[in-house]
Amino acid sequence: MICQFVRNRILSSGAGGKLRLSARAWRRLERGLLRLCDPLVKHRIASFELLMPLSHRLPQFQLDCPQYGWNLGRVGRAVFEKYPDLCAIDIGANVGDSLAIMRSEAEFPILCIEADENYFNLLQANAAQFDNVTLVRDYLGEARTEMLGALRASRGTGHIAQDAPGEVTLRPLDDLLADHPRFGKAKFLKIDTDGYDCRIIRGSAQILARARPIVFFEYDPHMLADHGDDGLSIFEQFRSQGYRQLLVFDNLGPLLCRMALEDKNELAKLHARYVGQTNGRYVDLCAFHEDDNDVAIAVAESESSCSGLELNASKQPGKNAKSG
């Protein structure tokens, strides 16, 4: 109750440079409490109330950056408007925050996949308020692989620590979908797995060829390199499977640009811009098959108004994007 009270005072105190002295004091108190314990607190997303650890940084991100995460819901709504029988897959579902964001915009079946046991338990508890949701606890990768190590998660994120005792079995999404055929033709695929995103896309070649889903994923060259992934090769896979358009979002939410997946030079510039970034800045990318160029254009136009940009296909991140 004390931790919930402190968290509520922080969230009601303002954000960024508008923080009053009292708000800074509440944040210091929260940091002190976290040295003693990490209890569960409630956080509201739209009309949904989610349980999450006090250490989870999502509430603070959404306080400091009001656009954070909501682009996912708007993209999902645009896909649903074209495909009323839409079903979606949420990889890296965490405690259910992306589920709540998508469901705040439209009602469609969602397969939520989360690997961490603690986050999965909270996902189960939080998902009880939603209909038509399937939950799976599993580790996904490029191919079926046995990896030494264990998953370590904190502050809302996680990674496989290879120096930890244990063993993890990774399998491709295409294999998992054999157990969940209802989602074999999903038209919307969201991936947020802290550096494993491109590997998971490589393990999804069959569903990309069969269903041609819109793919919303995290692209962080720094984290990709930590896992031995070059990153850039994923764009060749997209091109080979008929994907043509890419929307580039700052990780805090605003749309930066729309670019053609055929433009290899600009993709290389985008990658180089974020190489070596250790300050938590990266981009979220949304890839569209040529069948859905109309959705890409519609989303770009609506998101540019949210971001205050006059956007056209030729604008590039180096011209209109700023990162900390």
Mean pLDDT of the chain: 87
Tell me phi and psi for residue 167, to 5 degrees.
-145, 140
AA identity, residue 68? Y
Q: What is the pTM of this model?
A: 0.87
Q: How far apart are CA 139 and CA 159, in angstroms?
A: 11
- In the numeric block, the tokens 């190590």 are attached to 149
Q: How far apart are CA 10 and CA 60, in angstroms?
A: 9
* Beta strands in 187-242, from DSSP E residues, in sequence order: 188-191, 214-219
At 156, the pLDDT band (50, 70, 90 cuts) reads low
Number of residues that this document lists for the chain = 324
Q: Is 49 helix (H, G, I), strand (E, B) or coil?
A: strand
Per-residue pLDDT reduced to its tens digit, 81-121? 999 999 999 999 999 999 999 999 999 999 999 999 999 99
Q: How far apart are CA 48 and CA 75, in angstroms?
A: 19
3-state secondary structure 137-162: CCCECCCCEEEECEEEEECCEEEEEC
Taking a C-beta distance cutoff of 8 angstroms, is the pair 70, 253 a contact? Answer: yes
Taking a C-beta distance cutoff of 8 angstroms, is the pair 234, 203 a contact? Answer: no
- 9 Cβ contact list (under 8 Å, min separation 6): 22, 23, 26
Per-residue pLDDT reduced to its tens digit, 278-316? 667 899 999 999 999 999 999 999 998 776 554 443 343
Most confident residue range from 32-46, 143-157, 202-216 = 202-216
At 162, the pLDDT band (50, 70, 90 cuts) reads low
Q: How far apart are CA 291 and CA 85, in angstroms?
A: 17
What is the residue-wise DSSP string for 250-315?
ETTS-EEEEEETT-HHHHHHHHHHHTT--SS--EEEEEEEGGGHHHHHHHHHHHHHHHT----TT-
Largest CA distance in the chain: 55
Q: How far apart are CA 76 and CA 65, in angstroms?
A: 20
Tell me, what's the pLDDT at 161? 56
Nearest to 204 by CA among 91, 69, 75: 91
Query: In the beta sheet, which residues pair with residue 157?
Result: 154
Tell me, what's the pLDDT at 167? 78
Nearest to 79 by CA among 215, 249, 256: 215
- Domains delineated in the chain: 2-54 (no CATH), 69-320 (3.40.50.150)
- Supply the Cα-derived Rg of the chain in whole angstroms: 19
Quick check: 317 pLDDT over 60? no
- 100 Cβ contact list (under 8 Å, min separation 6): 45, 46, 48, 50, 126
3-state secondary structure 232-246: CHHHHHHHHCCEEEE
AA identity, residue 88? A
Tell me, what's the pLDDT at 158? 59
- 286 Cβ contact list (under 8 Å, min separation 6): 75, 214, 215, 216, 217, 246, 247, 249, 296, 299
Per-residue pLDDT reduced to its tens digit, 54-76? 999 898 888 888 889 999 999 99
Structure tokens that stand for 296 in this block: 């890409």
Tell me, what's the pLDDT at 26? 79
Tell me, what's the pLDDT at 14? 62
Q: How far apart are CA 162 and CA 164, in angstroms?
A: 5
Q: How far apart are CA 149 and CA 252, in angstroms?
A: 31
